[in-house]
Chains A and B, each alone.
Chain A
Amino acid sequence: MIEDDQILILLQHGDSFFPSGAISFSWGLEMLKNDKVITSISGVESFIECQLLYRWGSFERVVLAHCFDRANDFETVIPVDNLVECMTFSSELREGSKRLGSALLATYSKLNNPVAQQYQTLIQKNHAYGHLPIAQGLIWNSIGLSKTPVLMLSAYNFCISVLSAALRLGLISHIDCQQSLIKLRELISEILTWPIPDVEEIHGFTPFSDIASMRHENSDTRLFAN
């Protein structure tokens, strides 16, 4: 159960009003739409399901959980940050993760959060990368959230970021988005029952979005940064 005092914090961070920078990213969807690989709501839904099952669940979720548990120990967190850098092959997906991680840290730095300020300094000195699940683990731990809500928040934010990109790409309607979210909630809940493996076991297999985001690098038509 989520304690009452966490609910308002969750609402604040799961709301597109929170300045996360996520609005500029489609995680491969823009190129898949331009290439006519994804043309409908069912395509968008299976794109998100695959991302949750074969990337978020086996990769970001694990990184986030480990980082959350060790948020006070930068020496343990930094190697995991390096691992995310090495294991995210497409450059636009890698940059996207770093830009959003840095954006979260920057916002919290300005809110005088010491963890954010310290980690930001490490990034500026090139001692760390600041990938998104790392920044989320550090910050969301520091503001008093517990682990399960943090994992939910990360999955939910990913889903709404892709759905809102799909909406702006003209693939789905606002009602479709809510319909999809209802279905995706079930999948997120199921993934949250999976055990958390060792961080060395993180893996992902999402060839469509990886290739699409690589193709996107050279695309002149770009509403989104990936």
Chain B
Amino acid sequence: MRTCQDPSINSTLHAAMNRQTLSNGPARVGIGGPVGSGKTALIEQLIPIFSNRGNEIAVITNDLVTREDAKRLQQSGLLASERVVAVEAGACPHTVIREDPTLNMQAAELLERKFENLEVVLIESGGDNLASTFSLDLVDYWMFVIDTSEGDDIPRKRGPGIVQSDLLVINKVDLAPYVGADINLMVKEGQEVRDGKPLALTNCKTGAGIQEVADHIINNVLFS
């Protein structure tokens, strides 16, 4: 069995390890967070890191009304367009990643059968509010992306996404000075409400902090 080096091992990880040992399929990583916080931008930054490591990747998007994100990734040239699949959420972005993730699981399984050597499936939730969380039947690991321009009080508002995610990503650090957001406060209060679970600061425009996010994924669910 593959082993884990990350000190922040938690129950989610145990669940993930069990699932990995059982299914031996690709790691499924959920990316949730409010509308426009930078989920797709983070995926665009992560893909080259995994590609450069030789990890085969695919993406599932849960666009709300259009296929905007799926098309953006398909046209990005970062990965083959058949590796991006859109799943409609019926205006219920929460439900399709938590109470009823069956169609997202179906899409992941189809990708897994189509691409035998797939190692990572990134699942982008439709932009939502702070309450969304992922079912651990759907993903092995999930992160929640917020950004500084939403207000530096967001972490202490303790939304389930902020509190329960395996990794909290605070994106758009470049915008903090323009909106008067105190990043140090966001980090401090984020750590307080998250019980020691990790948190990362990113700028998806420049790529700053992205390697750290990738390392969390690698150490927690890829293992090699």
Q: Which residues of A line the B interface, CB within 8 A?
A: 17, 19-21, 23-26, 99, 102-103, 106-107, 110, 124, 165, 168, 220-225
Contact = CB atoms under 8 A, between A and B. Distances in A.
Contacts of A168: 90-92
Nearest to A19: B100
B58 to A, nearest CB: 18
Interface stretch (B1-9, B24-32, B64-72, B179-187): B64-72
Interface string B46-62: 00000000000000000
A223 B99 CA distance: 18
Given A222-B66, A222-B88, A23 B95 contact: yes
Interface pairs A-B: 5 shortest CB-CB: A103-B102, A19-B100, A21-B102, A225-B88, A24-B90
29 contacts: A19-B102, A20-B102, A21-B102, A21-B103, A21-B106, A23-B95, A23-B96, A24-B89, A99-B103, A102-B106, A103-B103, A106-B102, A106-B105, A106-B109, A107-B102, A110-B137, A124-B113, A165-B90, A168-B90, A168-B91, A220-B66, A220-B67, A221-B65, A222-B67, A223-B64, A223-B89, A223-B90, A225-B87, A225-B88
A24 B96 contact: yes
A96 to B, nearest CB: 10
Contacts, number: 62
B66 A99 contact: no
Interface in B80-129: 87-92, 95-96, 99-103, 105-106, 109, 113
A106 B106 CA distance: 8
Nearest to A104: B102
A171 to B, nearest CB: 13
Interface residues of B, number: 22
A158 B210 CA distance: 45
B99 A17 contact: yes
A220 to B, nearest CB: 5
B25 to A, nearest CB: 14
B155 to A, nearest CB: 30
B102 A25 contact: no
Contacts of B64: 223
Contacts of A26: 90
B112 to A, nearest CB: 11
Most chain B CB atoms below 10 A, which of A102, A110, A223: A223
Most chain B CB atoms below 10 A, which of A102, A103, A110, A222: A222
Most chain B CB atoms below 10 A, which of A21, A26, A221: A21
Nearest to B101: A19
A78 B89 CA distance: 30
B88 to A, nearest CB: 4
B88 A223 contact: yes
A161 to B, nearest CB: 9
Given A168-B91, A220-B67, A224-B88, A23 B106 contact: no
A21 B113 contact: no
Nearest to B103: A21
A225 B64 CA distance: 11
B133 to A, nearest CB: 15
A29 to B, nearest CB: 11
B65 A23 contact: no
Given A21-B100, A23-B96, A168-B91, A223 B105 contact: no
Contacts of A224: 88, 90
Contacts of A20: 100, 102
A159 B102 CA distance: 20
A182 to B, nearest CB: 24
Most chain B CB atoms below 10 A, which of A23, A102, A103, A107: A23
